[in-house]
């Protein structure tokens, strides 16, 4: 934020043709005073501005409400980020609780999350090696829990979230029934690299958001990050399929589909397209999972390139 943004005068409103402004010392008639459009916007989004811990939170929230860089230009700002900086500076704040230092709890939490992601693979391998009759079910449930369930905290209606998880479990169970236990074990082993790839994408996207100065700039920069994360996970999932002897053409599309589901849920994307893609994967045709994964990737490129998808969530 520049000194001009903080200390300078409020942006001028749009001028409309009308009577001349009164001379110095005069008083403008009621109804003819020029309103402060940024103040009106601040009043409309006061809760967002008061809750935000930095201007980036306001920028993401404004974008979620449909305010674009073109809209910001009507408030005499070059982009949404500049408008968010003024809103943040003009928001009165009381004594707010200090945020925890960055990384203060990240180490233990990250280690615990990665440990949980290792459990499905270990359970599936152990059950398969022991010849347990419930090995296939354990592999399917463990895969869904590790690759999909981390999105449970995302905002949204519970029935839609439950539907997504049920469809994911059905897709994994159906694929395991058709292709054997090796497929379920491969998907379970892919849970740990999926956790790492998702965490890497989230961290780099948030860093990109902090450096961006326009919504288009952020979108152009985050799409390659998403493709890189998907490619990294796909390579790991392919390795797991080769290791277990699962058919690559069946394991890889389904693994990518579950990984994209995890990303979209964790970043608060709508459940409708996710549920539709998982339902498509249930069709008894060899290309169903691949088509579902491709369609969901297109949706993810649009949904996850929005700044509002990467706002810090409580």
Reported for 93-102, long-range contacts at CB under 8 A and 24+ positions apart, including other chains, are: 93/50, 99/53
Higher pLDDT, 34 or 190: 190
Q: What 3-state class would DSSP assign to 280?
A: helix
Higher pLDDT, 152 or 198: 198
State the helix-helix crossing angle for 135-147 and 191-211, rounded to 10 degrees: 10
State the CB neighbour count (10 A cutoff) for residue 227. 14
Q: Is the CB of residue 295 less than 8 Å from the CB of residue 278?
A: no
Q: Is the CB of residue 144 less than 8 Å from the CB of residue 254?
A: no
Same domain for 172 and 54?
no
Same domain for 121 and 174?
yes
Same domain for 139 and 248?
yes
Asked if the structure places residue 271 within a domain, the reply is: yes
Q: What local confidence, expressed as pLDDT, does residue 216 receive? A: 77
Same domain for 168 and 244?
yes
Q: What local confidence, expressed as pLDDT, does residue 98 receive? A: 45
List Cβ neighbours of 260 (8 Å cut-off, separation of 6 or more).
230, 277, 293, 296, 297, 300
CA distances from 64 to 75, 197, 255, 306 (A): 18, 25, 29, 8
Asked if the structure places residue 102 within a domain, the reply is: no
Domain count, the chain: 2
Q: What local confidence, expressed as pLDDT, does residue 149 receive? A: 61
Q: What local confidence, expressed as pLDDT, does residue 169 receive? A: 87
Same domain for 175 and 306?
yes
| Selection from 265, 232, 130, 128 nearest residue 188 by Cα | 128
Asked if the structure places residue 101 within a domain, the reply is: no
Same domain for 249 and 188?
yes
Please give the angle made by the CA atoms of 276, 280 and 283, to the nearest 5 degrees: 150
Query: Which range of residues forms the domain containing residue 82?
Result: 3-13+31-90
The C-alpha atoms of residue 227 and residue 297 are separated, in whole angstroms, by: 9
| Model confidence pTM above 0.85 | no
The C-alpha atoms of residue 20 and residue 59 are separated, in whole angstroms, by: 36
Asked if the structure places residue 217 within a domain, the reply is: yes
Same domain for 121 and 178?
yes
List Cβ neighbours of 100 (8 Å cut-off, separation of 6 or more).
none
Q: What local confidence, expressed as pLDDT, does residue 96 receive? A: 45
């Amino acid at each position: 934020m520049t000194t001009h943004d903080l200390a300078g005068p409020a942006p001028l409103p749009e001028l409309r043709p009308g009577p001349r402004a009164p001379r110095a010392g005069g008083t403008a008639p009621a109804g003819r005073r020029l309103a402060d459009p940024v103040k009106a916007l601040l009043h409309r989004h006061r809760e967002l501005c008061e809750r935000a811990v930095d201007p980036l939170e306001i920028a993401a929230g404004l974008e979620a409400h449909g305010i674009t860089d073109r809209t910001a230009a009507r408030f005499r700002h070059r982009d949404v980020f500049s408008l968010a900086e003024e809103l943040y500076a003009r928001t009165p704040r009381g004594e707010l609780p200090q945020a925890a230092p960055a990384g203060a709890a990240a180490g233990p939490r990250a280690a615990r999350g990665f440990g949980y992601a290792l459990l499905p693979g270990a359970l599936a391998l152990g059950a398969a090696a022991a010849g347990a009759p419930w090995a296939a079910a354990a592999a399917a449930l463990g895969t869904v829990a590790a690759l999909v369930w981390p999105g449970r905290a995302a905002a949204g209606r519970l029935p839609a979230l439950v539907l997504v998880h049920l469809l994911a479990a059905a897709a994994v169970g159906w694929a395991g029934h058709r292709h054997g236990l090796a497929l379920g074990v491969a998907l379970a082993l892919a849970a740990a690299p999926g956790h790492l790839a998702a965490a890497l994408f989230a961290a780099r996207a948030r860093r990109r958001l902090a450096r961006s100065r326009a919504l288009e700039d952020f979108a152009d920069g985050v799409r390659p990050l998403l493709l890189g994360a998907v490619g990294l996970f796909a390579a790991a999932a392919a390795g797991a399929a080769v290791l277990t002897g699962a058919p690559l053409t069946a394991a890889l599309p389904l693994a990518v589909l579950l990984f994209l589901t995890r990303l979209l849920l964790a970043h608060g994307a709508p459940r409708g397209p996710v549920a539709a893609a998982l339902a498509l994967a249930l069709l008894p045709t060899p290309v169903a999972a691949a088509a579902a994964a491709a369609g969901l990737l297109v949706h993810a490129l649009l949904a996850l390139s929005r700044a509002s998808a990467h706002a810090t969530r409580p």
